[in-house]
Structures are given as structure tokens and as C-alpha cells.
Amino acid sequence: MIITLKSNINNEELDKVFKELNNKKIEYKHIQIEANSNEKINLIIITSDAYNLDEHVIKSMPAVGQVLRITTPYKLASRQYKKEDTIVTVGDVKIGGKEIVIMGGPCSVESEKQVEEIAKGVKEAGGKVLRGGLYKPRTSPYAFQGLESVGIEYLLKAKEKYNIPIISEIMGIDKLDEFVKNVDIIQVGARNMQNFELLKALGKVNKPILLKRGLANTIEEWLMSAEYILAGGNKNVILCERGIRTFEKATRSTLDLSVIPLVKKLTHLPIVVDPSHATGNWELVESVSLAAIAAGCDGLLIEVHNHPENAFSDGEQSLKIERFSALIEKGKKIAEVIGRKI
């Protein structure tokens, strides 16, 4: 970071800048360069990590004219910090390596029988992680809100029977202990992407976190949210693109496939794609999934239901088990072309 100081500043104003940097334990050099024979420019060159420095605070100081950040604001998530890919391990499953991991299961856990049947189908089809919603964030307060703690019992029984890890979405810090104890991957939904208190709490646990991109958030905002978790000490972060809100109404969201290679360039974190929420239409899920594999994603998070026509939520975007299986078989061929596997 380079801080350009205004001309004709007094020592008191300059000392305020130095004090802020010293308080943050940031190393710096104060230098002068000649712009021309009549003018000298004062610069402060930051020579250490400055991820904990608030640019807005620095810019607001009377002595500061301009702040130029040379490195990315998301320090720990960036390729500059870590060159090699991060691989998140969940039992025998590795997310971020050569293998593309397919996760499948219902939007909502509805009954023990439902979860058992879907878990069996997901595992036999080649799925490596079972998803299932317990606490459901719904637009309408009258819609099904999930089975909550009762649903965890059903997921745990399916996990034990079919030897498959489980992922579910957390809604608030008050459920953190319950999720850390029972869930293998904790999902942060789009609506909670900038729930910073929740992100801070998740940074303190030793559990993989799948962080979905917000409905209308930029890539930088998304990676800054990941930074909250990483800064807390939890290095097991998985990014998830689930589509963003645009003017288009033909699909539930607009899936940004270009984000996959772009995120791969910017960060070392693995990225998976949720084609179900991106499209909102089961007929589109397969095509979008195959495109995401071709684009280089590290996994897919797909809604699967044994009877989608009777689903308590999101039946219209859920695949039947046989279609889920067919998708995986097609995905294997595309994965092979790009030197990966499912």
C-alpha cells in the first residue's frame, strides 16, 4: 500500500497517520520524491501486511491525499498469500484436488424415510456428500421452516448407514454448537454471506465452512467474507457460486460461470457451484452442471428428492435420483477431458 500525503501538511496531522499505523503494528517507510524542481511529494510506503488497516480511516485523515492498495484487501484468501490450492478434507473426501466432488440431497429434511431413501440414491449414484436443510431461510414466514433439531437425527442415521458426510445450512450463532457437534460441513447461505458476527464465530471452529455468494454481492465482497473466517484461524473454507440477482426473470438467479476461472486466479480456495438455486428449474440443472465442470469447478451442490412433486420446498428445482445419477455419468466424461475425475 502507498499513501500519498498532501502538500503543506503540519507535523500534528502527519503524526496522526503515523500513530494509526503504529497502533496496528504496521511497518512503513516515510520518503520524499521530487516531482519537479519546485515540488516534493511525501509518500508512506507500507512494507508489511496491512490487511487489518481500514483504508477509509486513513483516507479520512487531513494529511492523506490518496491511498493506493497494491495487494488485494483479502490477504489470507489471495493467491499472493498462498500459491498452492487449498484442499479441504472431510473424512475421506477431498474438496479442491483433482477429484470433482458431487454433493446431493433434499432442500429440506422432511422425514426419516425420505432422508434414508435419498441418501441411498445419492451414495449409489456416486455422490460423496449428503446435503439436507434443517433450519430453512424462507421468504414467507408461512412457508415450511424445517424440522430443525429433529432433522439432525435423521441426517445422522443416514450418515452412519451409508458412510457419507453431511452438509447443512446454519442460520445463526445460537445454533453453532449444535452444528459443530453434528454436521461435517457447515453451510453459510447467500443471505448470511455478510453476517459478520456469524463469520467471526465460524472462524474459531475447526470445521469446514461452505460460503455461498450473496444474492447481489461482488466477488471482492464475497472473498472479504471468506477473509473473516480465515482471519479467525479456520483455514477450511469452500466457496460456492449459486447465481446472483439480475434483471432476468427466466431463471431463479443468473449463474456467473466466469467466476469459476476468475476465482481460481484470485484465490487458493476451492469453489463449488449450486446449479439448483442458480436456475430454479430441474430441466436446466444438468446442462448448467456440466458447464460448471468444464469451467473448472471443484464440486457441485445439487438438490435431489425422491418425490420432488411432493417436496416441502424447492421441488421444482430438485432432480430425481435417476436423473442425478445420469448427470454424474455424463460429468465423468467431461471431467476426463479436462484431466480431472468424479
- Residue 37 confidence class, pLDDT cut points 50, 70, 90: low
Regarding whether 222 and 314 lie in a shared domain, the answer is yes
Query: Are 269 and 284 contacting, i.e. CB atoms less than 8 angstroms apart?
Result: no
Q: What is the pLDDT of residue 34?
A: 66
> What DSSP letter does each residue of 302-339 carry, written as one string?
EEB-SSGGG-SS-GGGPBPHHHHHHHHHHHHHHHHHTT
Look at residue 35 and tell me whether its pLDDT is greater than 70: no
CATH number of the domain where residue 250 is located:
3.20.20.70
What is the grid cell recorded at 14? 502527519
β-strand partners of 102: 300
Query: Are 63 and 16 contacting, i.e. CB atoms less than 8 angstroms apart?
Result: yes
Q: Look at residue 342 and tell me if it is in a domain.
A: no
- Residue 81 confidence class, pLDDT cut points 50, 70, 90: confident
Regarding whether 106 and 241 lie in a shared domain, the answer is yes
* Residues belonging to the chain: 342
Q: Give the three-state DSSP class for 286.
A: helix
pLDDT in tens, 259-284: 999 999 999 999 999 999 999 999 99
Helix (H), strand (E) at residue 272: strand 271-273
Q: Look at residue 280 and tell me if it is in a domain.
A: yes
Regarding whether 279 and 153 lie in a shared domain, the answer is yes
- Residue 310 confidence class, pLDDT cut points 50, 70, 90: very high
Distance CA 133, CA 105 (A): 9
Q: Look at residue 180 and tell me if it is in a domain.
A: yes
Regarding whether 226 and 184 lie in a shared domain, the answer is yes
Query: Are 287 and 275 contacting, i.e. CB atoms less than 8 angstroms apart?
Result: no
Q: Residue type for 330, please?
A: K
Q: Look at residue 148 and tell me if it is in a domain.
A: yes
To the nearest 10 degrees (0 to 180), the angle between helices 259-266 and 282-295 is 40
What is the grid cell recorded at 145? 421452516
pLDDT in tens, 115-173: 999 999 999 999 999 999 998 777 788 778 888 889 999 999 999 999 999 999 999 99
Choose between 124 and 56: higher pLDDT: 124
The residue range of the domain holding 32 is 2-68
What is the domain count for the chain?
Answer: 2
- Residue 69 confidence class, pLDDT cut points 50, 70, 90: confident
pLDDT-above-70 percentage for the chain: 98
> What DSSP letter does each residue of 20-88 carry, written as one string?
HHHHTT--EEEEEEEEETTEEEEEEEE-S--TT--HHHHHTSTTEEEEE--S-S-TTTBTTT--SPP-E
Q: What is the pLDDT of residue 55?
A: 84
Regarding whether 23 and 156 lie in a shared domain, the answer is no
Phi-psi region of 233 (alpha: psi -120 to 50; beta: other; left: phi over 0): left
Q: Look at residue 81 and tell me if it is in a domain.
A: no
Q: What is the pLDDT of residue 248?
A: 93
Residue that finishes a domain, picked among 36, 68, 100: 68
pLDDT in tens, 197-209: 999 999 999 999 9
Look at residue 51 and tell me whether its pLDDT is greater than 80: no
Look at residue 54 and tell me whether its pLDDT is greater than 90: no
Regarding whether 119 and 23 lie in a shared domain, the answer is no
Choose between 110 and 146: higher pLDDT: 110
Look at residue 50 and tell me whether its pLDDT is greater than 90: no
Distance CA 80, CA 268 (A): 9
- The model carries a pTM of 0.84
Distance CA 60, CA 68 (A): 14
